[in-house]
Structure 1
Amino acid sequence: MLRSFIAVLVLVFGLPVTVSAASLVAKVDVSSQTMTVIRYGEVIYSWPVSTARKGKVTPRGTYSPKSLSRYHKSSLYNNAPMPYSIFFRGNYAVHGTNQVSRLGRPASAGCVRLHTANAAKLFSLVKEHGFKNTRIVVQN
């Protein structure tokens, strides 16, 4: 049964097998500028995001969260607000933004931006599931 479930995740969502063990997966599709949130194999949310604009990079790969910061301000970009930050690789994070009109198209310096209400939901889910049971997958 578990193998069938893993096979479905790999085929339908293109997730690597290492991701399938996570109870929470936030899958970012850069080409469509969307995030799909999957809990216990079931899609529970699909949201528009903004990833890196031209000349910048959002790193691709599969990550576990490294830290959470509810009221983070960027030390690299003039104290720009980054509410509900979920850091997954160095200075890269999934976080809320006040630039909601830009969601659905590349606009960030590399982070994955979400509507702040959605970032708060994801932040809460990551706290609930824990870093070890959460994967952030960024792919084309």
Structure 2
Amino acid sequence: MPDDALYVHLTDHKHQRLYLQRDGKLVFAALCSGGSTGRMREERYCGRGIHDHTGWFTVIQKDARHISTLNPEWYMPHSLRFFRAHHIHGTSPNQYRKLGRPASHGCIRLHRTDARTLFYKVKVGEKVCIQ
């Protein structure tokens, strides 16, 4: 495993977490929420339905004020896109109570404060491991 990477642990459906590691040391951790069904799919899977992609990805785009291309009502602040329309991003305050367990359509949701902090710590091209 790389010493510098973003790790997202979704397999524990009661305590979903995101970790950022630098030089082999934990530098940031946050509660997160993955896909609401808890279904895990390999990264090459591209079918429909709510699910999480697992495997190694790369941050391919950053957008501080992202609006979903799937639904223009979905504001996704401090977004890190890692696969197709899948992002790590801040969620709405009315969704905070769901953090830590499956709740999204497939993105990785964070508290907006955590999303902002992570956004400024991660660069395009960094590795993301989702498991």
How is 1:39-50 mapped onto 2 (pairs within 5 angstroms)? Answer: 39-50=22-33
Q: Secondary structure at the match of 1:87?
A: strand
Hey, what's the Cα distance between the residues in 2 that align with 1:61 and 1:77?
26
Q: Secondary structure at the match of 1:131?
A: coil
Aligned to 2:55: 61
Give RMSD over aligned pairs: 1.4
Alignment check: 8 A CA contact 2:88 2:108 kept: yes
Secondary structure at the counterpart of residue 43 of structure 1: strand
- Report the residue type matching 2:127 in the other structure: R
- Equivalent of 2:81 in 79, 87, 91: 87
Partner in structure 1 of residue 103 of structure 2: 107
Amino acid at match of 1:95: H
CA-to-aligned-CA distance 1:71-119 (integer Å, 9 cap, x gap): 0111213421100000000100000011111101100000000111111
- Equivalent position amino acid for 2:128 in 1: I
For 2:52 and 2:24, the matched residues in 1 are separated by 25
**How far apart are 1:137 and its partner, in Å?**
0.6
Unaligned ranges ≥5, structure 2 = 38-48
Using the size of structure 2 for normalisation, the TM-score is 0.81
Q: 2:69 aligns with which of 62, 75, 83?
A: 75
**Tell me, which stretches of 5 or more residues in structure 1 are unaligned?**
1-14
Deviating beyond 2 angstroms after TM superposition, the runs of 4 or more aligned structure 1 residues are none
Give the Å deviation of 1:125: 0.8
Structure with more of its chain in strand, by fraction: 2
Quote the offset at 1:37 in angstroms.
1.2
Matched length: 115
- 2:22 corresponds to 1:26: no
Partners of 2:62 and 2:124 within 8 A in 1: no
The percentage of counterpart residues that share the same residue type is 30
2:120 partner amino acid:
S
Bigger radius of gyration, 1 or 2? 1
Give the structure with the higher percent helix.
Answer: 1
Q: What are the Cα deviations for residues 34-81 of structure 1, in whole angstroms up to 9, with x where unaligned?
A: 111111210012211000011611111111111111101112134211
Correspondence 1:37 to 2:20: yes
